[in-house]
Each structure stands twice: as C-alpha cells, then as structure tokens.
Amino acid sequence: MAHPVQLSLQDATSPVMEELITFHDHAFMAMSLISFLVLYALLSTLTTKLTNTSITDAQEMETIWTILPAIILILIALPSLRILYLTDEVNDPSFTIKSIGHQWYWTYEYTDYGGLIFNSYMLPPLFLNPGDLRLLEVDNRVVLPIEAPVRMMITSQDVLHSWTIPTLGLKTDAVPGRLNQTVFTATRPGVYYGQCSEICGANHSFMPIVAELIPLKIFEMGPVFTL
C-alpha cells in the first residue's frame, strides 16, 4: 500500500513486479548519468572561455556521441522487451477468475468453484470501520491464492475500464466485447489495493479493487467463507 510522500514504487508481491522495479532502477540510473553529463557540458560551456572557435571538424567526437546513445538505448531496450514478454507469458494456470467491469463496480466469477459470482462495490464513508481506507475499501474482496499461477480473465459490460493492482504489477484493460487475460503468481499473503486506471465516467474514482491473498491450502477449501 502506498503512503503519503512516497517516492518509490510499492513493494513487489509478484516476480513480474520485482522485475519491473529492477528495470525502473536500471533505467533511472541511466537517465541520471545522462542528465548529469548534459548538465556538466552546459555548465562547462557557460563558464569556460572558448579558445578554439575555429574548429569545424571533429570526427572522433561525432562518432562517440552517435555510438554512445545507441549503446545506452540498447541497454535499456533489451531488459524492457524481456519484461514485456514475461507479462504476456501464460504457463498452465492453476485457477481462473473472471473480472467484469461495470459503471461503477466490479463483478467476479470463480469459474473453478461452481460459477460463484458476486459484485464488489466501494464502501461509502458511513460504513467504514476504524482503520479502513476511504475510497479504497469494498464490500466483497476478491480472494486469491499465493504461490500458484492465477489467470484473470478481464472484460467490461459497458465502457472501457482497467483492472489494476500496482503491487502485483497488474494493469489490464477491460474492453467491451473482448476478453483479455493476465497471469500472475503472488508471493506473500496480505490485502492489496488497486483502482480502475481508465477514465470510465463520472464515478471513475469510486470503483476500487481489493485483493485478499491467502495461502493456497486455505484457498482450496473454497472462497465462499470470505464473503
């Protein structure tokens, strides 16, 4: 869960999110070095007396400032493409859960448990308990197992939505008439929050996502007891 004045990303709860955080740090370091280099060149140009104003040819320098940026772009692009393929990889998921976006709530269907279906609405402020998070708590959480690959089938009933949980590294669009899928493996139990990340109308800010991750043995007993 993010906290006020937080500058970094949320702690990772899936291998894909761990890879995303590592890539973020890698790219941020490259951008920082480039920024300091450009700043140093600007300051040097402004503060140093130019003594060689008649130079019109510098082949070595032109070669360096052409090849070096290309190498930096390759070092950034290769890890990025690797993570892109990891996010689309589907390896024999153990469970399948369907999420349907509506204006403005979510419907979840546990297809492996006799078609269990329930809606998830945001809790109004008057119904919040002490310690609950305003605009983030829901009446029915989606319960997911840890240490097992889970496939989320995501679609929409009306307009574009986006099923997003940052700590799991998930962000998949819910498109009317189309069934998108994403697969993840959670690594630790807990309660994790997300929100619709696609502007979907007047109450776009009021359709949160709450995922409760529990051990696999407890989940296999059946998710009904958590409702």
For residue 150, name the pLDDT band (cuts at 50, 70, 90).
Answer: very high
Q: Is residue 7 part of a domain?
A: no
For residue 225, name the pLDDT band (cuts at 50, 70, 90).
Answer: very low
The answer on 73 and 108 residing in a single domain is: no
The answer on 170 and 107 residing in a single domain is: yes
| Distance of alpha carbon 159 from the chain centroid | 21
130 — phi, psi (to 5°)?
A: -55, 130
The answer on 118 and 83 residing in a single domain is: no
User: pLDDT tens digits for 62-113?
Assistant: 888 889 889 999 999 999 999 988 888 777 888 899 999 998 899 999 888 7
- Give the residue from 88, 114, 137 where a domain finishes: 88
Contact 210, 31 (CB under 8 A): no
Q: Is residue 6 part of a domain?
A: no
**Closest among 166, 153, 207, 216 to 187, alpha carbons compared:** 216
What is the rounded average pLDDT for all residues in the chain? 87
The answer on 163 and 126 residing in a single domain is: yes
212 — phi, psi (to 5°)?
A: -105, 115
Q: E strands along the chain, which residues? A: 95-102, 105-110, 116-120, 142-145, 150-156, 161-165, 170-174, 180-184, 190-195, 208-214
Q: Is residue 1 part of a domain?
A: no
Who contacts 220 (Cβ-Cβ below 8 Å, separation ≥6)? 145
Domain CATH number, residue 35: 1.10.287.90
Output Rg (C-alpha) for the chain, integer angstroms: 24
Domain that holds residue 146: 95-221
The answer on 46 and 125 residing in a single domain is: no
User: pLDDT tens digits for 42-53?
Assistant: 888 888 777 666
Question: What pLDDT is attached to residue 52?
Answer: 65
The answer on 197 and 100 residing in a single domain is: yes
Q: Is residue 145 part of a domain?
A: yes
C-alpha triplet 163, 165, 170: angle, nearest 5°: 75
- Give the residue from 62, 88, 114 where a domain finishes: 88
- Structurally, how many domains does the chain consist of? 2
pLDDT exceeds 90 at position 156: yes
The pTM (predicted TM-score) of the whole model is: 0.82
Q: Is residue 198 part of a domain?
A: yes
Q: Is residue 33 part of a domain?
A: yes
Structure token digits, residue 188: 């630790």
> Cis peptide before 65, with omega less than 30 degrees from 0?
no
Q: Is 91 exposed, middle or buried (0-12, 13-18, 19+ CB in 10 A)?
A: exposed
Structure token digits, residue 179: 């069934």
- Residue-wise DSSP of 116-150: EEEEE-BPPGGGPPTTPPTTT-BSSPEEEESSS-E
> Cis peptide before 104, with omega less than 30 degrees from 0?
yes
pLDDT exceeds 50 at position 41: yes
Q: Is residue 5 part of a domain?
A: no
Determine which helix (DSSP H) or strand (DSSP E) holds 172, and give its type and residue range: strand 170-174
2-6, 74-78, 126-130, 142-146: least confident range = 2-6
- Give the residue from 29, 58, 88 where a domain finishes: 88
Cα–Cα distance between 106 and 157 in angstroms, integer?
A: 10
Question: What pLDDT is attached to residue 189?
Answer: 92
Rounded to the nearest 5 percent, the helix, strand and coil shares of the chain are 35, 25, 40
